[in-house]
Structure 1
Amino acid sequence: MTRATMEHMPTSPYGAVLRLPGVARLFAVAFVARIPTAAAGVVLTLHVVQSLGKGYGQAGVVAGAMTIGMAIGAPWRGRLVDRLGLRRAIAPSVLVESAVWLMAPHLGYHALVGAAFVGGLFLVPVFSVTRQSLSVLVPPALQRSGFALDSVLVEITFMLAPVAGVLLATQGSTGLALTVVGCTTVAAGLLLMWANPPTRSRTPAIELPADLREPEHAAPRRVVTPELAVVLLAGLAASFILVGTDVSLVAALNDAGRAADVGWMIALWAGGSVVGGLLHGMGTRNRSPLLLVAVLALATVPAAFAPVPVWLAFAMVLAGLPCAPALASINARLVQLVPEARRGEVMGWGGTMSTVGNALGAPLCGWVIDQTGPSGGFLTAAAVGGTIAVGGLVVSRLVRSRADAVPGRELVSV
């Protein structure tokens, strides 16, 4: 076979993405840098319960404080990346995170709540920076595959990191586990600063003729449009479904006396997501993020009626298949809807909406489970998330219909 023949052979879109300059290194750095964030939640919970002798409710307060900090801090950190560049923006995060996590094993409960909030507020924005950099390194024709591969790697991270955190906490101590999380969090920030992936294109902006430039004192164009708002809501809905499914799965296995099966059930769920993400990235048709979230909601319903454990295992694989496609589609659409100079901030808002979805989904589905059982939790996750997605689809169609009805009219910013 000649070289010319080989060069014209069809290749996998993932191979094309990974051959792009800087992309393989970005994925490798992001995979390593995300591990401490993925392990932090379970390590904090075990530390509060085992070492501080508190209940799971009090552990939830610590996790909630960190979640609130993350929700507030994500857009702010993203805006700093847009304005100052990656290294200058995350240097304070590295300093603050090192102090928070290295002190955490030695703090009392109430001080730990405050430290968790500060840690969330200054969390190194690995997830949003990775996606922002992907939007720069990967051309639009391959971004579907790039974001799908990123979602698959995130799933693998969340399969491995919590297990490693639990092993450190149980085989060593929770103090040791917190210290390792702290050291690796700082190392992740330093690694990201060293790699310094691009968050802006290097292509210089085209100089517009004077008659086409905006007036110097004109108000800045608003970024948040109705379409962007519904995509952000899609992120909230997806997170609501996922956290509700997580809580309901644990409850179903506990009620059946099979708590030891939680680990491999979650692995099956994540495995379904990996398969779905890989298939999504190899496709050529771009589907609406809201439609994929609606499919995610629908795929969760069978778990409500599946007997434990065999049929529930099949149901969890089915529920996992649309996860990575929905998340990849949301992230890919976000970077398409905003100017490059504001992508960091908007990706931060995407992270905030996901955090809000988690914060709403866990207690609501948990309350329903207490009243009706695990099946009610699965159905609540599907119903609420699906309603948000379908509502977003309706709003999008109405806005588009109104814009089409008036020739030359643009979508009104909100």
Structure 2
Amino acid sequence: MSSYASLLKTPGVARIIAAQLTARFPNGMLSLAFLLHIEHITGSYGSAGLVLAATSVGQAVAGPVTSRWMGVWGMRRVLVLTIAVSAAMTAVIAFVEMSVPAYMVVGLIVGLSSPPVQSAVRTIYPKMVNSRQLTPLFALDASAQEIIWVAGPVITTFVALQFSTVAAIVLALAFLIFGGAWFVLSPEVGRVRIPRSRRKLGKVLTKRAVLLSTITGFLLLGACSAVEASVVSAFGHDGLEGGLVLGIFAIGSLIGGLALGHLPVSPWSMARRMFAVFVGMALALFSLDFWWLAVTLLIAGIGIAPAFGVMSAIVTSSVKFSDTAEAYGWVGTGQLIGAALGSALAGFLIDLNGPSGGFLVAATFAFFGFLFPTLFRRWHPDLRGRDASPIPDTEPVYTQPS
């Protein structure tokens, strides 16, 4: 814990973590708010899953593109544009009743305009701390973001239950606007300049660590999205149990991140963390009892934040600084495609077989999320005793002949 305390004393670190968490807080609210809102209007979890899938696909397409734009136009310009468009389209979903295809189109635009806050902040981090502090900082960031998943579902469920699903979306919208403004105005966002990448779009995926993180993130988020839909369908709209179970799920991730985040990163680190996720989700298949799900998803959660921390560390250490934002964009794209597929598959199986069908989807994603980094552990950098900073961008130096 002392390493985390020293990190928070580093100038600007606590502020930038708080600002980006606030800006990203809607990530823990909007999926559930959209799910509740669309299901309330249409009466179908499958229809709601399609809207969430469209939103996630939009985010997946935009991720590497908007992240790369930050190296061309600057972070602030890209962030302001995407925040404005995303906020406007989120308001449309909240206040305009439409057909499911129309909701899907608007959801797609919400996804396409998703602000690349995560890519921005993880590109900024290596410029704020020394190389020894970078891996613990990624772990602290991954752990702290679980506050989003602890409080977000609980707040969303409570507001939707006590007021309306529209109010839940509007509250998420307020976080998007306020948090986005706070992050954009942070000095570090204006101070750090991402060099223009000289590689073609997508070339960074030839780095094995980036591809490993992208595919594993795809599987991890697919599992998590299926769990979210399954928990909501298991407990419905008549109480806070669903939000509480999802909050406990995130608390497990927070505990795991703080307990394991400072450990050295070895080639087995990703597989070990994903094994905990798989075990917890597999156990969740056996009962829909509140306490059973709370315990099993607590176990599953223990591996999530540490897995995200490992992804960040191995990506950063494997690419040039000018490519870090795009690399994180691709990792985010993998996660969001997984979220789209997990939500859609879980939604349809829930309609057919009830919540157990959704948990089966989650356990299947988690199993392959464990299997892939196990089979391809040679793609996983060994960072024990190594510098996790990005590779410096270098240019040839021309000299005049003497």
Q: TM-score range, shorter-chain basis?
A: 0.7 to 0.9
**Which AA in structure 1 matches 2:343?**
A
CA distance in 2, matches of 1:219, 1:355: 22
Correspondence list, 1:66-85, <5 A: 66-85=55-74
SS at match of 2:188: coil
Letter in 1 for 2:109: V
Alpha-carbon distance in 2 for matches of 1:399, 1:63: 31
Q: Tell me the distance in 2 between the aligned counterparts of 1:203 and 1:74.
A: 16
Does residue 387 in structure 1 map to residue 376 in structure 2?
Answer: no
CA 1:92 to 1:303, structure 2 compared with 1: closer, same or farther past 3 Å? same
Indicate the residue corresponding to 1:352 in structure 2: 333
CA distance in 2, matches of 1:218, 1:237: 27
Offset at residue 306 of structure 1 (A): 5.3
The one-letter code sitting in structure 2 at the alignment partner of 1:161 is G
**Which of 105, 116, 138 pairs up with 2:129?**
138
> Cα offset for 1:180?
3.8
Task: Check the 8 A contact 1:234/1:290 in 2, yes or no.
Answer: no
- Check conservation: 2:45, 2:350, Cα contact below 8 A: no
Larger radius of gyration: 1
Aligned counterpart in structure 1 of residue 220 of structure 2, from 232, 238, 241: 238
Show the 5 A alignment for 1:57-206: 57-110=46-99, 111-198=102-189
Gaps of 5+ in 2: 382-402
Question: For the residues of structure 2 that align with 1:74 and 1:59, how far apart are their CA atoms?
Answer: 23
Q: Secondary structure at the match of 2:204?
A: coil
1:327-356 deviation line (CA, Å, top 9, x unaligned) = 111122222221110111111111110111
Any stretches of 5+ residues in structure 1 without a counterpart?
1-10, 205-216, 401-414
In structure 2, the partner of 1:37 is: 27
Deviations 1:230-276 (A, max 9, x none): 2211111211222233344455667xx99753232222222211111
Q: What is the percentage of aligned positions where both structures have the same residue?
A: 27
Deviations 1:340-393 (A, max 9, x none): 101111111111101111122234355566777756654553344333542343
- State TM-score, norm by structure 1: 0.78
Pair 330,155 (structure 1): closer, same or farther in 2 beyond 3 Å? same
1:282-293 correspondence to structure 2 within 5 Å: 282-284=262-264, 286=266, 287-293=268-274
The alpha-carbon deviation at position 325 of structure 1 amounts to 0.8
Q: Separation in 2 of the partners of 1:384 and 1:23? A: 34
| Contact 2:234-2:242 at 8 Å conserved across structures | no
| Range that drifts further, 139-148 or 301-310 | 301-310
Distance 2:350 2:87 in 1: 38
* Residues 1:109 and 1:344: Cα distance change in structure 2 (over 3 Å): same
CA distance in 2, matches of 1:396, 1:388: 12
Secondary structure (helix, strand or coil) at the match of 1:123 reads coil
Q: Any idea what the Cα deviations from partners look like across 1:13-70, whole Å, max 9, x if unmatched? A: 10121122211111110121122332222333333344x4554333333222211211
Q: Hey, what's the Cα distance between the residues in 2 that align with 1:131 and 1:14?
A: 17
